Chains A and B, each alone.
Chain A
Amino acid sequence: MNEILILMKSEWVLLLIIIIFLFIKVGSTEWKNENLLYLANILLLINFILGFVLNTDGIIFDEMFKTNSLICLEKNILNLGTLLISLQSYHWLKNHKHVAEFYMLLLSTLLGMFFMISSNNLLMFYLGLELSTIPLAALANFDLHKRQSSEAAFKLIISSALSSGLLLFGISLLYGTSGTLNLSEISQHLNGSNLQLFAFILLLAGFAFKISAVPFHLWTADVYEGSPVAVTSYLSVISKGAVLFVFVSVLYTVFKSLGIAWQNMLILLSVLTMIIGNLFAIRQNNIKRLLAYSSIAQVGFILAGISGCSQLGTTSVIYFILIYVFSNLGAFGVVSIISSTTGKETISDYKGLYKSNPFLSWTITIALFSLAGIPPTAGFFGKFFLIMSAAQNGNYLFISIAALNMVISLYYYLILVKAIFMDKNEQAIEKIHVPILPKIAMLICTAGIIIVGLYGEIYEYIFKLSFGY
């Protein structure tokens, strides 16, 4: 009993917070939005801090649920991202009618991701995955009166239903060939028969849908554009990051024996994802769509890192996701505050932003430089390790394509920076008063972008924890 309490402590804390919000919602006292938001942020901060204590390894519930220090680290990264998003969405939620519901849905998706990361059984994995996607569709519809928001939500739920259908068909065939749902037992039953390869391809397609790798990326840009900015940043950072954590561990531990088969698939997916993500990003006008395609391109780089098949692969992926949390949330924080005060979301609206809002301009510029991978920022080190991991196979054509793609991506990031700093605009965005909570979030993101790259201990710490191939 005591063991269950300690090993599942992140889940228990989250569940407690959800229940607190449920009671606030059904209770008779009317809460003011500001107080509710402060309470939510404090609770999330406590949740983040509690993630660092009482971390023990163990397997419970008949090998369904496992946890170890790497999994705790991954959960901490997700907790941090959720806290930052909650701080940033203060301005948008302040005038929203359904704050308590927002946090209930948001935290239940986070709970689903925790179960998914900790799962050691395909049933547990599937339950976690669905718990993390179904409430997200409801969240995407949270601007209840906007036409685009409901369109985005419908696209999200249909594509995630299709992807979980593919995933499930793969799981059912895997069960048929191995006779068990336990992940560590499945890996012993893999023999590379055609049916198992087919099951693996279906699983890969399901995963690729969730992380929006290229042949399965079509929903991404539309959903990102239509959803509220807080939900967009959650989708692009947290939900993608969680699925990537699971993806790496499933590929490296369960499907290790099919390695030759999936390595080439990953390289192909990665090349397609990088090229198409970058080329489509160039022609975007809406900044949320631009960031959507840029996040697709980043997934291409992550897949390149995964294709390395070594301990460096795991480490670089987790390290890059940590950096990606800071850099993408830095960019989305600025977009969020501008969108919720002025409603402006196109690149031409950002012209001359520096004149009126120097703080916001510097924040988004540093974040974009980190996304592009320019040396002093952390993004450079993240991409460096990913490419180094990919280079271990000695496939130099592939590395050259990845390097060329970094140049292409620089082009559209710099267009935005140029618009902010150099272009003149008659109707520039006026001076925006940034509330204290979003300001803290932006400062944390900027500090994270600079520190995580230069402070080498973090990388070494992740390397020490992560598993090899």
Chain B
Amino acid sequence: MNQITITHILFVSTALFFIGMYGLFTRRNMITMLMSVELILNSVNINFVAFNKYLYPQNLDGIFFTIFIITIAAAEAAVAISIIINLYRSHQSIDVDDASEMKY
């Protein structure tokens, strides 16, 4: 009766996805924007693990995909943060509104 079904988990992951999306569009700090992207990627991870556990437990495709996503997210964060450091050297700020020389 009180079991956690796949719908509950999908609800959480979808909510996380849109929270990440909202954060990406409203936050002005570059590091926070990066954190929002991580939320999106983690919502995908939850999706994969849940689908694998509930619907297709006979093979482990989803779990493997999750491991790869985690690894690549780390690589992406490393490159993004090094770009942010370089940007901070020239702009003295990590606010996206200060990095808006090119428009339209």
User: Which of B17, B90, B103 lies in contact with A150, CB distance below 8 A?
Assistant: B90
Asked, given contacts A158-B37, A175-B62, A179-B56, whether A138 binds B83 with beta carbons under 8 Å apart, the answer is: yes
> What is the minimal beta-carbon distance from B26 to any residue of chain A, in angstroms?
14
User: Are B99 and A165 touching (Cβ within 8 A)?
Assistant: no
Which applies to chain B's interface (DSSP): helix, strand, loop or mixed?
Answer: helix
For chain A, the bracket of interface size reads 35 or more
Give complex CA distance A162, B34 in Å.
10
Instruction: List the B side residues contacting A150 at CB < 8 Å.
Output: 83, 86-87, 90-91, 99
Instruction: List the A side residues contacting B55 at CB < 8 Å.
Output: 176, 179
Asked, given contacts A138-B79, A157-B80, A176-B47, whether A181 binds B37 with beta carbons under 8 Å apart, the answer is: no
Judged by a CB distance under 8 angstroms, whether A243 is at the interface is no
Give complex CA distance A134, B83 in Å.
11
Judged by a CB distance under 8 angstroms, whether B11 is at the interface is no
User: Which of B47, B72, B80, B102 lies in contact with A152, CB distance below 8 A?
Assistant: B102
User: Are A148 and B102 touching (Cβ within 8 A)?
Assistant: yes
Asked, given contacts A147-B91, A165-B40, A168-B41, whether A175 binds B48 with beta carbons under 8 Å apart, the answer is: yes
Asked, given contacts A165-B41, A169-B40, whether A147 binds B76 with beta carbons under 8 Å apart, the answer is: no
Q: Which residues of chain B in 50-65 are interfacial with respect to chain A, using CB atoms and an 8 Å cutoff?
A: 51, 55-56, 61-62, 64-65
Judged by a CB distance under 8 angstroms, whether A226 is at the interface is yes
Give complex CA distance A176, B100 in Å.
40
User: Are A157 and B86 touching (Cβ within 8 A)?
Assistant: no
Instruction: List the A side residues contacting B75 at CB < 8 Å.
Output: 130, 134
Instruction: List the B side residues contacting A341 at CB < 8 Å.
Output: none
With both beta carbons as reference points, the residue of chain B lying nearest to A133 in the complex is identified as B76
| Number of interface residues, chain B, beta carbon within 8 A | 41
Give complex CA distance A147, B89 in Å.
9
Give complex CA distance A280, B103 in Å.
12
Q: Which residues of chain A in 275-317 are interfacial with respect to chain B, using CB atoms and an 8 Å cutoff?
A: 280, 283
User: Which of B44, B62, B90 lies in contact with A165, CB distance below 8 A?
Assistant: B44
With both beta carbons as reference points, the residue of chain B lying nearest to A223 in the complex is identified as B102
> What is the minimal beta-carbon distance from A395 to any residue of chain B, in angstroms?
32
User: Which of B17, B44, B65, B87 lies in contact with A154, CB distance below 8 A?
Assistant: B87
User: Are A175 and B101 touching (Cβ within 8 A)?
Assistant: no
Give complex CA distance A375, B1 in Å.
72
With both beta carbons as reference points, the residue of chain A lying nearest to B72 in the complex is identified as A130
With both beta carbons as reference points, the residue of chain A lying nearest to B88 in the complex is identified as A150
User: Which of B47, B64, B83 lies in contact with A141, CB distance below 8 A?
Assistant: B83
Give complex CA distance A151, B87 in Å.
7
Asked, given contacts A134-B76, A165-B37, whether A154 binds B62 with beta carbons under 8 Å apart, the answer is: no
Q: C-beta contact mask, A145-175 vs B, less than 8 Å → 1, else 0?
A: 1111011111001100110010011011101
Instruction: List the A side residues contacting B84 at CB < 8 Å.
Output: 154
Give complex CA distance A406, B86 in Å.
41
Residue positions of A touching B, CB distance < 8 A: 122-123, 126-127, 130, 134-135, 137-138, 141, 144-148, 150-154, 157-158, 161-162, 165, 168-169, 171-173, 175-176, 179-181, 221-222, 225-226, 280, 283
Further pairs besides A123-B64, A147-B101, A154-B96: 7, Cβ < 8 Å: A144-B86, A161-B76, A175-B48, A176-B47, A176-B55, A180-B61, A181-B61
12 example contacts (A-B, Cβ-Cβ < 8 A) are as follows A127-B68, A147-B90, A147-B91, A148-B102, A151-B91, A151-B100, A154-B30, A161-B76, A165-B37, A169-B17, A222-B102, A222-B103
